[in-house]
Structure 1
Amino acid sequence: MAHPVDVHVGKRIRHRRWLVGMTQQQLAERVGIKFQQIQKYETGANRVSASRLWDIADALDVPVSFFFEGIETEGEDQPKAENVPADILGDKEALDLVRSYYAIPENQRRRLFELARVLSDVA
């Protein structure tokens, strides 16, 4: 059985890769490994070594600490917003929405954000 930390790190690798629009193959090429290894990392089946995690962080343009964010609160009872998946970054539609949102110019993005807040308060 995979260690929970390995699973968490793998999820964070996958989420960041999706967020930047990179395929497993592209990430593997940047790191110098086979894409199957990326698959194993992302599922937590294989543990990521420190040096490999360093290379992955560099390829995904995040600090190594990014992969450990949220791990201390995982599994704790926390108030959750209704209709929001516990693992929102695991939802492909949510990631696509975030990617599209950040592609919008900042002034228009702010207006869209305010509109979304108003609509969610009404619902």
Structure 2
Amino acid sequence: MKRSTTEFDKELGAQVRSVRVAAGMTQSELGAAVGLTFQQIQKYEQGANRISASMLLQLSQALNADFSAAVALEGARPSGEVRSREEEWLLADFARLDAGRQRLVLDLVRTLAGA
């Protein structure tokens, strides 16, 4: 039985795409770095194919990014969320920070938002 992709697969793929674009890397370059074709990267970015944990690790290393925050937040955000271009940029840059700096940024945002 084939498992279908979910909204989270699409969101994670979109985040991979945002980080790749912010890094100035093409789909072909990212594919070469992780041993895939640009078509396979394209399917991941579109959410047509699920990204395995081991592939997510390889993509993280190739992009020098940390996607753990996106994975940890899966289920913490409402479905059907639409993001602005600025939010996509923020997420892409946030994913490139190490875990310690991500925590600092998150604390800052929560303080500014009054949460």
Q: What's the TM-score bracket when you normalise by the shorter of the two chains?
A: 0.5 to 0.7
Secondary structure of 2:74's match?
A: coil
The Cα shift of 1:69 comes to: 5.9
What CA RMSD, in Å, does the superposition of the two structures yield over aligned residues? 2.7
Q: Name the counterpart of 2:10.
A: 7
Q: Percent identity?
A: 35
- Once residues 17 and 72 of structure 2 are traced to their aligned partners in structure 1, the CA distance between those partners, rounded to angstroms, is 14
Whether the 8 Å CA contact 1:8–1:71 is kept in 2: the answer is no
Q: Once superposed, which parts of structure 1, at least 4 consecutive aligned residues long, lie more than 4 Å away?
A: none
* Offset of residue 73 of structure 1: 4.1
Query: Which of 54, 59, 64 does residue 57 from structure 2 map onto?
Result: 54
Task: Determine the C-alpha separation between the residues in 1 that align with 2:5 and 2:45.
Answer: 11
* Structure 1 residue ranges without an equivalent (≥5): 77-85, 100-123
Checking the alignment, whether the CA contact within 8 Å between 1:13 and 1:42 is kept in structure 2 is yes
Q: How does 1:26-65 map to 2 (within 5 A)?
A: 26-65=29-68
Q: Which has the larger radius of gyration?
A: 1
1:87 pairs with 73, 80, 83, which one? Answer: 83
Q: Which amino acid aligns with 1:87?
A: R
- In structure 1, C-alpha distance between the alignment counterparts of 2:21 and 2:72, rounded to whole Å: 17
Aligned length: 86
Matches within 5 A, 1:73-84: 73-75=76-78
**Residue ranges of structure 2 left out of the alignment (5+ in a row):** 94-115
1:71 aligns with 2:74: yes
Tell me, in whole angstroms, the C-alpha distance in 2 between the residues paired with 1:55 and 1:42.
Answer: 14
